[in-house]
């Protein structure tokens, strides 16, 4: 596709222009910039051609506070189909493509599944040829860079832009103003190409940066008010400084609210302006634009679109509300009532008084609509957007859009039956399910080329790269000893690669022949990393008591970040690392047990972890995980699930067979039945070994550094707190069942061919979990979009 000589010339030119040195004099980071800029020159014409091709067509706009894109270079080379050419060009110049790829910083613009899902969706939209563009915030520092000191998480600024971003284009010509009560700021878009597989479609991720309208006060500076001269600049840029600032105080909450309104207002202004520039009427806006709200972070789009239509463009309220509702759709990502976003009315009134007025009018309209349905008086309270001093963003999202979807079959049914039952009763036609998915291009083809090659060989085609359902063709090999042996060999290659990386980065030696049991996801109590930790400690005590022969060697690997203000989650990280110190330093556990908490878990680390896993830990409390996408990445790479029947685990088991996974624990209906009568002291006292591990939190076995975090964790399990009952996530209730499932894992793993058969059944059943399938469903059933 590319002229190799021209690519060399462009790299040399960028080395000279960007760094004032020859290519040979550049370090790996600088070489990465020069190479990426050279590739970008070839992408721009394809990008322009896509925009021209999509002109006049309906477009989907994905509004998300997070886009966890990961590294761009390797993914772009793969989707452009020039991996081999790039390797050859770089090799001829004495450069190693692996070094250059490793030099790239992850774009830390997300914290977990929500942001990674958004990234997968953009990849699928472009790969399928849909006009799907993303809109969000260009955070200067992303989430945070995690280090571990004395076993505790320490947050540092994640300056992902320190060496520049060769993949984005600053579009000052399309900047817009966003107004708050204390004045306007400038929203400047940075556009990044989203290259579809095959390079035929290049969509756009538009991220907004906040800047001051007046970045420098010359008069203030001349008056020796040096701080005042840049105050406006600093205040404006704070808006897009950090993803998810700590919101334990009103100051932090106001900043998060600013962020949400900032990117939503800028995006809507931009989309409306382009719509009108193309000569289309306002009335036709829903015919040309579908806007998907990724969770409630962009829910302010409902009143903001109403403001733009009525106050800026003079449209009648009822017509504007009809257009708003037909344009917007909402994805719900949580079953947890406490996680359904709410904002104090006082903050909305302070920061966005005009928007608050519009929300009040929407709430009054809702009351009128409810009366027409026979819902009056106090019966309306459960629907009210404004109630008890709070603005309920989920209710605003449901009422102000035409579609509300869950992200897994169980999740959607639970929404309809429990948390959102009252809304489903009056608007059943708005509710639908869109089970999440992942892009097989990043999570198999790029992350696991060895397995990808085997899959292509066995299927006789690489068509699975764009049609993952073809993996079903692998089921004919589940009894083929030769194929299973090859699968085991590939898995060991990936485990050796991961072991070497962990040795270099973490300084810990791990055994590739042990079971790699991996739990990597956001640190949250309901995800139950604590249950995993208790089981590890139980294994340790059993080894110390002479039971080592019955325990299959295991390496437990954790990767997670805890929100800076989430003290319990940070306490769990400290506890896991205390267990790791105990286990890893004891000579009696050598060759039997190892624990690793990888630092600064992110997309590039995940690309090494998923392919190397033997077991996928998906152990959330049943009914709490909306879907999960890590479970799908493990499955695609051939790791059976040890997990509860929660989120998409249910569908994973349906596709691959329960006999090929390790399911344990209470089910949703069982938890519901026992919720009021459950006493965690029963398993605590009656399950052998459980009291010992739980008490390790308070008996001096481990040191929490004087924070009191371990005592608080212990009390949360046995005493509860003002906001929850004891053992709210049923960790103690599920411990015995989890331990039994883990023992079964150890037994089955010893028969390597039998275990490989389970792995292959998981790979063959992964077709449903492609984000390509998910995006087709969104396009056909919500957005009415054509490719």
Phi, psi of 383 (to 5 degrees): -105, -20
- Mean pLDDT, range 463-477, rounded to an integer: 97
Per the rule left: phi > 0, alpha: psi between -120 and 50, beta: everything else, 752 is: alpha
Torsion of CA 569, 575, 578, 582, to 10 degrees: -140
Instruction: Tell me the C-alpha distance between 126 and 120, whole Å.
Output: 10
Cβ atoms within 10 A of the Cβ of 91, count?
11
Handedness of CA 479, 484, 485, 486 (dihedral sign): positive
Question: Which domains are assigned to the chain?
Answer: 1-55+81-104 (no CATH), 300-434 (no CATH), 481-768 (3.40.50.2000)
pLDDT at 185 over 60: yes
* pLDDT for the residue numbered 219: 73
Pairing relationship of beta strands 554-559 and 176-180 according to DSSP bridges: unpaired
Q: Kindly tell me the burial class for residue 501, based on how many C-beta atoms sit within 10 Å of its own C-beta (0-12, 13-18, 19 or more).
A: middle
Bridge partners of residue 330, in order along the sequence: 293, 404
Collapse the DSSP code of 81 into the 3-class scheme (helix H, G, I; strand E, B; otherwise coil) and give the result: coil
How far apart are alpha carbons 278 and 259 in whole angstroms?
29
DSSP calls for 592-609? TEEEEEESS--HHHHHHH
Q: For position 420, what pLDDT does the model report? A: 95
Quick one: pLDDT at residue 7? 87
DSSP single-letter state for residue 645: S
What pLDDT was estimated at residue 226?
64
Cα Dmax for the chain: 82
Of residues 97 and 265, more confidently modeled:
265
Query: For residue 246, is pLDDT > 90?
Result: no
Strand partners, 331: 294, 405
Other C-beta atoms lying within 10 Å of the C-beta of residue 723: 7
The span from the CA of 745 to the CA of 749, in Å, is 6
Task: Determine the pLDDT at residue 2.
Answer: 65
Q: By C-alpha distance, which of 278, 284, 325 is closest to 301?
A: 325
Q: How far apart are CA 82 and CA 79, in angstroms?
A: 8
Provide mean pLDDT across the span 156-183. 94
- For residue range 294-310, what is the model confidence (pLDDT) as tens digits? 999 999 999 999 999 99
Which range (77-86, 575-584, 601-610) has the least confidence?
A: 77-86
Q: How many residues does the chain have?
A: 787
Burial (CB < 10 A; 0-12, 13-18, 19+), residue 448, is buried
204 neighbors 122 (Cβ within 8 angstroms): no
Average per-residue pLDDT in the chain?
A: 95
The pLDDT of residue 458: 98
User: Residue 335's pLDDT is what?
Assistant: 81
C-alpha 785/C-alpha 779 separation (Å) is 5
Among all residues, which ones are annotated catalytic?
Answer: 333, 521-522, 527, 629, 633
Instruction: Give the model's pLDDT for residue 213.
Output: 85
Token pair of 38, please?
Answer: 């050279």
Cβ 680 vs Cβ 694: under 8 Å: no
Rounded average pLDDT over 48-60: 97
* Share of residues in the chain with pLDDT > 90 (%): 89
Q: Does residue 110 contact residue 116 with C-beta atoms inside 8 Å?
A: yes
Structure confidence at residue 482 (pLDDT): 98
Q: Residues 125-131: what's their mean pLDDT?
A: 98
Element (H, E) at 643: strand 641-643
pLDDT at residue 696 tops 90: yes
Give tens-digit pLDDT for 358-381. 999 999 999 999 999 999 999 999
Please name the residues in contact with 693: beta carbons below 8 A apart, sequence gap of 6 or more.
534, 537, 538, 541
Q: What is the pLDDT of residue 135?
A: 98
List, for residues 280-294, the tens digit of each pLDDT value.
999 999 999 999 999
Q: Is the dihedral of CA 569, 574, 575, 581 positive or negative?
A: positive
Q: What is the DSSP letter of 438?
A: B
User: What DSSP letter does each residue of 178-211 carry, written as one string?
Assistant: EEETTEEEEEEEEEEEEEPTTSS-EEEEEEEEEE
pLDDT at residue 525 is higher than 80:
yes
* SS3 of 105-116: CCCCCCCCHHHH
d(CA 569, CA 586): 26
Q: What is the pLDDT of residue 36?
A: 96
Q: Kindly indicate the confidence band of residue 111, based on its pLDDT and cuts at 50, 70 and 90.
A: confident
Q: Any idea which of 128-132, 228-232, 257-261, 753-757 has the lowest mean pLDDT?
A: 228-232
- Tokens 């931009």 found at: 270
Quick one: tokens of 718? 């046995």
Do 101 and 71 touch, CB atoms closer than 8 A?
yes
Name residue 721's beta-bridge partners: 724
pLDDT in the model for residue 338? 66
Please state the rounded mean pLDDT for residues 623-644.
97
User: Which band of pLDDT confidence, cut at 50, 70 and 90, is reported for residue 522?
Assistant: very high
Long-range Cβ contacts of 721-725 (<8 Å, 24+ apart):
723/338, 725/678
Q: What percent of the chain has pLDDT over 70?
A: 99
Closest to 777 in 3D by CA, of 412, 462, 424: 412
Least confident of 14-23, 188-197, 349-358, 445-454: 14-23
- Work out whether the CA dihedral 264, 270, 276, 279 comes out positive or negative: negative
The pLDDT of residue 223 is 73
**C-alpha angle 337-339-340 in degrees, rounded to nearest 5:** 70
Nearest by Cα to 303 from 320, 287, 319, 289: 320
pLDDT in the model for residue 142:
84
**What is the pLDDT averaged over residues 437-465?**
98
* 3-state helix/strand/coil string of 720-745: CECCECCCCCCHHHHHHHHHHHHHHH
Q: Give the DSSP H/E element, type plus range, for residue 243.
A: none
- Number of other residues whose CB lies within 10 A of the CB of residue 779: 22
Poorest-pLDDT segment among 90-104, 391-405, 645-659, 676-690 = 90-104
How is residue 105 written in tokens? 């910083």
Is it the case that residue 1 has pLDDT exceeding 80?
A: no
**What span, in angstroms and rounded, lies between the C-alpha atoms of 569 and 579?**
16
pLDDT range class, residue 216, cuts 50, 70, 90: low
Reduced to 3 DSSP states, what percent helix, strand and coil does the chain have, rounded to the nearest 5?
Answer: 55, 15, 30
């Amino acid at each position: 596709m590319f002229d190799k000589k021209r690519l060399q010339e462009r790299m040399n030119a960028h080395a000279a222009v960007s760094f004032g040195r020859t290519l040979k004099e550049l370090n790996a980071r600088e070489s990465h910039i020069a190479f990426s800029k050279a590739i970008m020159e070839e992408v721009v014409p394809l990008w322009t051609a896509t925009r021209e091709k999509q002109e006049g067509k309906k477009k989907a706009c994905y509004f998300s506070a997070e886009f966890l894109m990961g590294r761009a270079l390797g993914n772009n080379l793969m989707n452009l189909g020039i991996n081999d050419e790039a390797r050859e060009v770089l090799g001829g110049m004495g450069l190693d493509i692996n070094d250059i790829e490793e030099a790239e910083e992850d774009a830390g613009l997300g914290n977990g599944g929500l942001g990674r899902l958004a990234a997968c969706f953009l990849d699928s939209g472009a790969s399928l040829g849909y006009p799907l563009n993303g809109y969000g915030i260009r955070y200067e520092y992303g989430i945070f860079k995690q280090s571990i000191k004395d076993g505790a998480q320490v947050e540092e600024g994640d300056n992902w832009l320190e060496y520049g971003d060769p993949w984005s284009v600053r579009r000052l010509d399309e900047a817009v103003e966003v107004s708050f009560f204390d004045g306007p700021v400038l929203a400047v878009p940075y556009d990044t190409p989203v290259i579809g597989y095959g390079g035929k479609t290049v969509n756009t991720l538009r991220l907004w940066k906040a800047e001051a309208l007046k970045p420098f006060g010359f008069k203030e500076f001349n008056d020796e008010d040096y701080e005042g001269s840049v105050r406006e600049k600093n205040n404006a840029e704070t808006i897009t400084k950090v993803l998810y600032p700590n919101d334990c105080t009103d100051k932090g909450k106001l900043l998060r609210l600013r962020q949400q309104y900032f990117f939503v207002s800028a995006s809507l202004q931009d989309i409306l302006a382009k719509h009108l520039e193309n000569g289309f009427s306002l009335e036709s806006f829903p015919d040309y634009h579908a806007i998907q709200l990724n969770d409630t972070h962009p829910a302010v789009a409902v009143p903001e679109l109403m403001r733009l239509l009525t106050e800026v463009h003079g449209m009648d309220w009822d017509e504007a509300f009809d257009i708003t509702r037909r344009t917007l759709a909402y994805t719900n990502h949580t079953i947890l009532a406490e996680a359904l976003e709410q904002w104090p009315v006082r903050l909305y009134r302070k920061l966005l008084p005009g928007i608050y007025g519009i929300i009040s009018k929407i709430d009054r309209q809702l009351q009128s609509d409810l009366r027409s349905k026979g819902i009056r008086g106090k019966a309306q309270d459960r629907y009210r957007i404004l109630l008890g001093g709070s603005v309920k963003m989920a209710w605003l999202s449901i009422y102000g859009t035409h579609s509300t979807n869950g992200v897994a079959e169980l999740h959607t049914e639970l929404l309809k039956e429990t948390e959102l039952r009252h809304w489903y009763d009056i608007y059943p036609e708005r509710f639908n399910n869109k089970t999440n998915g992942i892009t097989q291009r990043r999570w198999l083809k790029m992350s696991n080329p060895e397995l990808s090659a085997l899959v292509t060989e066995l299927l006789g085609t690489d068509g699975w790269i764009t049609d993952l359902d073809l993996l079903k063709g692998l089921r004919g090999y589940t009894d083929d000893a030769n194929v299973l042996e090859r699968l085991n060999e590939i898995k060991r290659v990936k485990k050796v690669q991961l072991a070497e990386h962990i040795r270099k980065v973490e300084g810990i030696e791990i055994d590739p022949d042990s079971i790699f049991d991996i739990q990597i996801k956001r640190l949250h109590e309901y995800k139950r990393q604590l249950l995993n930790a208790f089981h590890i400690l139980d294994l340790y005590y059993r080894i110390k008591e002479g039971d080592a022969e019955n325990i299959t060697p295991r390496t437990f690997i954790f990767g997670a970040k805890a929100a800076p203000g989430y003290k319990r989650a940070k306490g769990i990280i400290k506890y896991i690392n205390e267990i790791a110190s105990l286990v890893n330093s004891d000579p009696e556990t050598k060759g039997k047990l190892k624990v690793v908490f990888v630092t600064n878990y992110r997309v590039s680390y995940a690309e090494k972890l998923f392919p190397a896993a033997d077991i996928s830990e998906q152990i959330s409390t049943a009914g709490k995980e909306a879907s999960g996408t890590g479970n799908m990445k493990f499955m695609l790479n051939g790791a059976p699930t040890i997990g509860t029947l929660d989120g998409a685990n249910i569908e994973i088991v349906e596709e691959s067979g329960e006999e090929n996974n390790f399911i344990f624990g209470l089910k949703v209906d069982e938890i519901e039945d026992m919720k009021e009568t459950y006493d965690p002291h029963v398993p605590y006292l009656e399950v052998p070994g459980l009291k010992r591990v739980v008490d390790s939190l308070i008996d001096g076995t481990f040191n929490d550094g004087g924070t009191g975090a371990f005592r608080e964790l212990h009390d949360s399990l046995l005493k509860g707190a003002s906001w929850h009952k004891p053992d709210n996530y049923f960790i103690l209730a599920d411990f015995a069942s989890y331990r039994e499932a883990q023992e079964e894992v150890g037994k089955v793993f010893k028969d390597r061919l039998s275990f490989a058969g389970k792995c292959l059944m998981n790979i063959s059943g992964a077709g449903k979990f492609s984000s390509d399938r998910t995006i087709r469903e969104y396009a056909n059933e919500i957005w009415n979009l054509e490719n």
